[in-house]
């Protein structure tokens, strides 16, 4: 098992913000975590990536129980990207340094030394995620979408066994989002990382190859398991407290507020336009 949470809860300021929750992620599994604002997704991602200790319960990551091992060693095997980490990155660091420093699970070059191979790998990861041209630019001056890419390259730098991405698609424009979804689908197909957890708000951002889902509501798991059984209108309606319809088309999910019976002219949007048809596309 890559990740196993048993009776995990997190309390802050006298309030339970996560759990109690049980959740397991096995090898070769790619999970989507979805739920409303404040439902505990980021807290869960931080617990899973060993950056946050739970108030109750046990967390096993990569065969080790948190609290019984040196978390710094474990963190080298976990790739993590999220808004909290982004805020902690020195804005003056170059994009390349942001990536390469993940080699030692560090936030700055400090006393670490890096080999040509490390730098080569960082360049390659930036190129793979479409950010080759950003290597020398200061992280703090990058656009939101560019910072997202650099963070993903950083998360992949240690060739992690477990990759956790907390909302990598937030604030991306349409093209950047679609490119990200494509790249994550490609990553999902590879043997490594052994397991991937993707926190997202949008069902449209679920890449192919992600076959498990955890639906959260109010710090708890509402549904967890195979994506087809889990990402249902029923589960999302329960999580969001409103009637939601889910549709799957060509392997991509969409969700929207239940509108009752479909309007008869809705299919107009589906049909290619007259000019598209006559031009043979
Ligand atoms: N240190 C803290 N002290 C008190 N409350 C906290 C703390 N950290 C988080 N919370 C609260 O815990 C709840 C869960 O937060 P979390 O960030 O995990 O939600 P989320 O599902 O990631 O939300 P979003 O979709 O907005 O990112 C929120 O209500 C948040 O305000
Ligand atoms: Mg969050």
Q: Is 68 exposed, middle or buried (0-12, 13-18, 19+ CB in 10 A)?
A: exposed
Ligand 1 atom closest to Cα of residue 36: 25
Which pLDDT does position 266 carry in this prediction? 54
Q: DSSP alpha helices (H): ranges in 131-231?
A: 144-156, 174-189, 227-230
| 79 exposure class (CB count in 10 Å sphere: 0-12, 13-18, 19+) | buried
Is the Cβ atom of 11 under 6 angstroms away from ligand 1? no
Average pLDDT along the chain, 281 residues, taken 10 residues at a time: 97 95 98 97 96 94 88 88 87 95 77 86 94 95 92 94 94 88 94 97 94 97 97 96 94 89 56 50 42
State residue 106's pLDDT score.
73
Strand partners, 254: 247
Neighbouring-strand partners of residue 226? 212
Per 3-state DSSP, what percentage of the chain is helix, strand, and coil (rounded to 5)? 35, 25, 35
Residue 280 is predicted with a pLDDT of 43
Spatial distance between the Cα atoms of 109 and 111, rounded to a whole number of angstroms: 6
Give the Cα separation of 75 and 51 in Å (integer).
9
CA of 83 to the centre of ligand 1 (A): 12
* Structural contact between residues 49 and 26, judged by C-beta atoms closer than 8 angstroms: no
Give 20's strand partners: none
Ligand 2 mean position, distance from CA 237 (Å): 19
Q: In sequence order, what are the beta bridge partners of 6? A: 58
Ordered domains of the chain (ranges, CATH): 3-267 (3.40.50.300)
Distance 12 CA to ligand 1 centre (A): 9
If you measure from the C-alpha of residue 34 to the centroid of ligand 1, how many angstroms do you get, rounded to a whole number?
14
Q: How far apart are CA 202 and CA 200, in angstroms?
A: 6
Give the model's pLDDT for residue 35: 97
Helix axes 144-156, 174-189, angle to 10 degrees: 10
Q: In a mutational test of the pocket of ligand 1, which residue from 11, 16, 43 has the highest number of ligand atoms less than 8 Å from its CB?
A: 43
Which phi and psi angles does 25 have, rounded to 5°?
-125, 120
Is the preceding peptide bond at 20 cis, omega within 30 degrees of 0? yes
Query: 197 exposed, middle or buried (CB, 10 Å; 0-12, 13-18, 19+)?
Result: buried
């Amino acid at each position: 098992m890559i990740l196993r949470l048993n009776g995990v809860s997190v309390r802050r300021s006298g309030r339970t913000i996560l759990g109690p929750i049980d959740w397991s992620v096995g090898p070769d599994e790619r999970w989507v975590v979805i739920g409303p604002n404040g439902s505990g997704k980021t807290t869960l991602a931080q617990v899973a990536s060993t950056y946050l200790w739970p108030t109750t319960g046990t967390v096993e990551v990569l065969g080790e129980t948190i609290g019984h091992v040196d978390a710094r060693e474990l963190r080298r095997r976990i790739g993590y990207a999220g808004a909290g980490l982004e805020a902690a990155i020195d804005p003056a660091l170059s994009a390349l340094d942001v990536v390469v420093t993940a080699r030692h699970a560090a936030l700055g070059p400090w006393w670490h030394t890096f080999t040509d191979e490390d730098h080569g790998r960082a360049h390659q990861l930036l190129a793979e995620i479409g950010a080759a041209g950003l290597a020398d630019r200061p992280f703090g001056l990058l656009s939101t979408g560019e910072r997202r890419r650099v963070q993903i390259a950083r998360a992949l730098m240690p060739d992690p066994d477990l990759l956790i991405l907390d909302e990598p698609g937030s604030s991306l424009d349409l093209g950047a989002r679609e490119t990200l979804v494509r790249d994550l689908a490609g990553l999902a197909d590879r043997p490594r990382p052994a397991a991937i957890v993707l926190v997202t708000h949008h069902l449209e951002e679920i890449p192919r190859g992600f076959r498990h889902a955890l639906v959260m509501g109010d710090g708890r798991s509402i549904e967890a398991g195979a994506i087809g059984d889990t990402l249902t209108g029923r589960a999302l309606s329960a999580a969001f407290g409103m009637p939601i319809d889910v549709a799957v088309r060509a392997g991509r999910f969409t969700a929207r507020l239940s509108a009752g019976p479909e309007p008869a002219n809705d299919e107009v949007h589906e049909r290619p336009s007259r000019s598209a048809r006559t031009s043979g596309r």
